[in-house]
Amino acid sequence: MAGAIPILIVVTFGYIALCAVSPFGRCRACDGIGFQLTTRRTLTGNTRPHRGPDCRRCEGTGRRLRTGRRIHNAWTRLHHDGTR
């Protein structure tokens, strides 16, 4: 149990550093490509991948704000509004 606490601290600070260095992560809905892949039937009857509509979660960018960065932004906004 005593060994788990330092590991948890290292993981936490590692995620904080990751959110500071790279605030955007890959969208999980579209796998970072920005649109959904659909299949379309060709004249010969075969199916092939086709570009579908833009991803609704990331709005076609392929990137989303990480959860830790979202929490940081909310905390910063709350602190800024509270100390005006």
Domain holding 67, by residue range, is 4-82
pLDDT attached to residue 84: 79
* Distance (Å) of CA 77 to CA 12, 32, 35, 43: 22, 28, 31, 55
**Environment class of 30 (CB within 10 Å of its CB; exposed 0-12, middle 13-18, buried 19+):** buried
pLDDT digits (tens, 9 = 90+) for 18-70: 999 999 999 998 888 888 888 777 677 677 778 888 899 999 899 999 999 99
For residue 22, what are its two tokens? 């790279």
Interatomic CA distance for residues 38 and 51, integer angstroms: 6
Using a cut of 0.75, tell me whether the model's pTM lies above it: no
Of 38, 76, 78, 77, nearest in space to 54 by CA:
38
> Between 2 and 16, whose confidence is greater?
16
Domain count, the chain: 1
Residue written as token pair 């993981």? 11
Whether 11 has a pLDDT exceeding 90, the answer reads: yes
pLDDT attached to residue 41: 73
pLDDT attached to residue 82: 92
